[in-house]
Structure 1
């Protein structure tokens, strides 16, 4: 299973769950999982995170992290367009801005059905419509598994005793 990280997973993970300066072992494990091909960050989500500032941005921009974590794939623009239209509906300019790069994330999940899981801290809100729809709900509509960072950690069996081989 390939886990695709949403930008909020990295930002919230650093700010609230596993701050880089307090839990460097987690981030080293995450980079190692990227090297193994278990965890990747689509370029669009990487750019969302790195447009900011802070420890997580500095860490992500290192050559080692970029090489290990960025998903090296070109995405079919027609798949992104279909994901946007079918997942969110017709959007005006404000809607496109509100949705941001989420359709890219879901579209990457659609590339290999059953082989990819989107990782996001967004919470399902099935009543939301249009640009207000949440990643887990759009993923569900396309049959793309979606989980939280904590679910991924459990599935990949992270422990603080982890040591890179």
Structure 2
């Protein structure tokens, strides 16, 4: 099962899977959610909906279950991810930005649920100015993959 980073949806909309070019991608995501495989976290939902564009409308049209709000079950994971971020030598601004962003919730909720994170971010383990999702995932034992790896793993075909 997968938690999608906002950049997966935003980049798809703006580039290679635009709604008018590959509507089947969006139908596939909705079908995969119905099958219990694809979700976003509430923080990603809120980020996208604030855009007020076609992607915001698509996200709003998905069932409420598409967006996973943090629950009490996430407390230990949120604490673990926060402790890693605070104790890994990142600049204070990087930690603050990460803990206020959807990325923090994606990694923590994936840890709680045992889901893979789907992101377009690339790891940058030497960076101290920005915490990247792949590095946070690796630090706490969460699998991360690209959207294309997810599509291949799930046998997606858009014809």
RMSD: 2.2
> CA deviation digits over 1:47-88, x for unaligned, max 9?
1111112211111111xx133522366253443233123135
> Residue 71 of structure 1 aligns with which residue?
68
Relative to the length of structure 1, the TM-score reads: 0.83
Equivalent residues of 2:94, 2:130 under 8 A apart = no
**Greater Cα offset, 45-54 or 75-84:** 75-84
Would you say the 8 A contact 1:32–1:68 is kept in 2? no
The number of residues matched between the two structures is 155
Contact 2:4–2:117 (CA under 8 A) maintained in structure 1: yes
Indicate conservation of the 8 Å contact 1:35/1:68, yes or no.
Answer: no
**Corresponding residue for residue 107 of structure 2:** 106
Check whether the contact 2:70–2:105 (CA below 8 A) recurs between aligned residues.
no
Q: Distance in 1 between matches of 2:59 and 2:142?
A: 26
Hey, what does 2:131 align to over in structure 1? 133
How many Å separate the matches in 2 of 1:83 and 1:72?
Answer: 17
> What CA distance in whole angstroms lies between the structure 1 residues aligned with 2:92 and 2:39?
30
Q: Which runs of 5+ in 2 are unaligned?
A: none
TM-score using structure 2 length: 0.86
Secondary structure (helix, strand or coil) at the match of 1:132 reads: coil
